[in-house]
C-alpha cells in the first residue's frame, strides 16, 4: 500500500534541498528576477554538488528525470528516484522555481534522456546539460501536430523547423528536439533527437522577455538543414503505428510530476508567507473550528491549504507509481492539472490577502504569482491535462474525444 509520508531515506535529501533553497536561492531570487537573461553564477557550485549526489546514487534535488528499469525487481513498495527527485524539487522551488530551471544539467531535456535513451546514449550524454524543444509557432498544446522534420540521409538525420519557448535554450549544452520522421504517419512518427550546441544549422534566434521565471532563459531555436547523427535519436527509430505516441510520451510521465512538484513548492512558499502576515495582523487560523466560524481571511486561507494538500498528495502518488513501475500517465496528468491550477489560484489569493504588501516588491509574493502561471502552461496546459484525464477515465481515443 502506498504511504505518502516522506520516506526516511529521502529526509536527508529533503533537508539538503531546503538548505540550498533557503541559503542560495532565496537571497538572490529578486536579484535575478530583475536581471533577466543574466546567468546566475551562484548556481555553478550548487550544480556540481547535485552532480555528485546523482552520481553517488543519493539522488539530486534538481529537475533531472529518473530512468525506469524494468529489470530492477523488488518485493513490496519502493520509494526510489522519482519520489526523491519530486520531493527535492518541491523544496528547491520553495526557494525559487526560475533558479531551479536555470540549474546546469537539471533540465527537462535531461529528464527526456533519462526516460527514453538506451544504455549507450545514457553513458554518452552523461554530464550534458540538455534543454527540451517541443513547442512550435503553429503547435502548442497539441504535440502531435509537430511540423519540424527529420529526414534520413546516410548516417544522419537532417532537421528542419523552428522551436519556441525553449527553457534554457541558450545556456544548455544540447537540446532534445521533437521532430517527425513522416508527417503522413501522425503521432507514431514523432521522435526525439539530441542536438548539441555548435552543430551547423542550429541557431538560437532570440531570447524572450517573460511575465515570470525571468531568471531562466527562454529561447527561440531554428534548425536549417541541421545534420544530426542517427545515434542521437533517442529510443527506437522504428515507426510503430500500434504504440503510436508512446515512446516520446513516456517523457511526460516523468516530467509532469516534476512540474507539479515545482508548483507545489511555489504554492507552499506563498502560503507560509501569507500565514505569517495573517498572524502578525492578529488573524488566528484555527484548525479545530469550522471555516465559516472564523475570520474571513482565515477561512480563505484554509481553502487554499486544502487545495495545496490535494495537489501535493496527487503529485507524490504519481511519482510513487513511477518508482513502482506502475503506469502513471493518468496520475501524472491529474497531478499536473491540479497543481498547475492550484498554484495560480493560491498565489493570486495570497497577494490579495496580503493587501498592499502583496502587490509591491517588498515581499516575494508578487513574484511568485507571476512565476506560477507558467507552471499551469508548460509540459501540457491545464486544458490538455483535463482532456487527457477525460480520455483515460472514459476509455476514449484522441480521435474520439478532442
Active site residues per annotation: 379
Q: What are phi and psi of 209, to 5 degrees?
A: -95, 135
Q: What is the DSSP string of 312-351?
A: HHHHHHHHHHHHTT---HHHHHHHHHHHHHHHHHHHHHHH
Scan for cell 482565515, then name that residue. Answer: 298
Q: What is the DSSP string of 179-240?
A: EES-GGGGGGGEEEEEEETT-TTEEEEEE---SS-TTS-EEEEEEEEEEEEGGGEES--S--
**Coil, helix or strand for 175?**
strand
Going from the C-alpha of 302 to that of each of 90, 213, 286, 287, 336, the distances in angstroms are 21, 27, 9, 8, 22
Q: By the 8 A CB rule, do 317 and 334 touch?
A: no
For the chain, give the number of residues. 402
Q: What is the DSSP letter of 174?
A: E
Question: Which cell goes with 352?
Answer: 490579495
Q: What are phi and psi of 357, to 5 degrees?
A: -60, -35
Name 23's Cβ contacts closer than 8 Å, sequence gap at least 6. none
Q: By the 8 A CB rule, do 91 and 13 touch?
A: no
Distance separating alpha carbons of residues 79 and 59, to the nearest angstrom: 12
Q: By the 8 A CB rule, do 335 and 258 touch?
A: no
Q: What is the DSSP letter of 130?
A: E
Going from the C-alpha of 271 to that of each of 211, 278, 305, 342, the distances in angstroms are 21, 10, 7, 12
Distance separating alpha carbons of residues 349 and 81, to the nearest angstrom: 33
Amino acid at each position: 500500500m502506498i504511504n505518502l509520508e516522506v520516506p526516511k531515506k529521502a529526509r536527508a535529501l529533503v533537508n539538503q534541498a531546503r538548505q540550498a533553497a533557503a541559503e542560495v536561492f532565496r537571497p538572490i531570487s529578486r536579484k535575478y528576477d530583475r536581471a533577466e537573461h543574466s546567468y546566475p553564477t551562484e548556481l555553478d557550485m550548487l550544480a556540481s554538488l547535485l552532480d555528485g549526489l546523482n552520481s553517488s546514487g543519493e539522488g539530486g534535488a534538481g529537475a533531472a528525470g529518473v530512468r525506469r528499469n524494468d529489470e530492477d525487481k523488488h518485493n513490496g513498495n519502493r520509494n526510489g528516484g522519482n519520489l526523491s527527485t519530486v520531493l527535492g524539487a518541491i523544496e528547491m522551488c520553495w526557494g525559487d522555481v526560475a533558479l531551479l530551471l536555470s540549474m546546469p544539467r537539471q533540465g527537462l531535456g535531461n529528464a527526456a534522456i533519462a526516460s527514453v535513451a538506451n544504455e549507450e546514449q545514457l553513458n554518452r550524454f552523461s554530464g550534458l546539460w540538455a534543454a527540451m524543444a517541443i513547442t512550435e509557432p503553429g503547435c502548442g498544446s497539441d504535440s502531435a501536430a509537430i511540423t519540424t522534420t527529420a529526414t534520413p540521409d546516410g548516417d544522419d538525420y537532417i532537421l528542419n523547423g523552428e522551436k519556441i519557448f525553449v527553457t534554457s535554450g541558450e545556456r544548455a549544452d544540447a537540446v532534445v528536439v521533437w521532430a517527425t520522421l513522416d508527417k503522413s504517419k501522425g503521432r507514431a512518427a514523432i521522435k526525439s533527437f539530441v542536438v548539441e550546441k555548435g552543430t551547423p544549422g542550429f541557431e538560437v534566434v532570440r531570447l524572450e522577455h517573460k511575465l515570470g521565471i525571468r531568471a531562466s532563459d527562454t529561447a527561440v531555436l531554428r534548425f536549417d538543414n541541421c545534420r544530426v547523427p542517427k545515434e542521437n535519436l533517442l529510443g527506437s527509430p522504428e515507426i510503430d503505428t500500434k504504440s503510436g505516441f508512446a515512446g516520446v510520451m513516456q517523457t511526460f510521465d516523468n516530467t509532469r510530476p516534476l512540474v507539479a512538484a515545482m508548483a507545489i513548492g511555489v504554492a507552499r512558499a506563498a502560503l507560509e508567507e501569507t500565514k505569517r502576515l495573517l498572524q502578525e495582523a492578529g488573524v488566528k487560523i484555527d484548525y479545530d473550528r469550522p471555516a465559516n466560524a472564523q475570520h474571513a481571511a482565515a477561512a480563505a486561507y484554509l481553502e487554499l491549504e486544502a487545495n495545496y494538500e490535494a495537489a501535493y498528495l496527487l503529485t507524490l502518488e504519481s511519482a510513487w507509481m513511477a518508482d513502482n513501475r506502475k503506469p502513471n500517465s493518468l496520475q501524472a496528468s491529474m497531478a499536473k492539472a491540479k497543481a498547475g491550477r492550484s498554484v495560480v489560484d493560491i498565489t493570486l489569493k495570497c497577494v490579495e490577502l496580503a493587501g498592499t504588501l502583496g502587490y509591491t516588491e517588498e515581499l516575494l509574493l508578487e513574484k511568485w504569482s507571476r512565476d506560477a502561471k507558467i507552471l499551469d502552461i508548460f509540459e501540457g496546459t491545464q486544458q490538455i491535462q483535463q482532456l487527457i484525464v477525460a480520455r483515460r477515465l472514459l476509455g476514449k481515443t484522441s480521435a474520439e474525444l478532442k
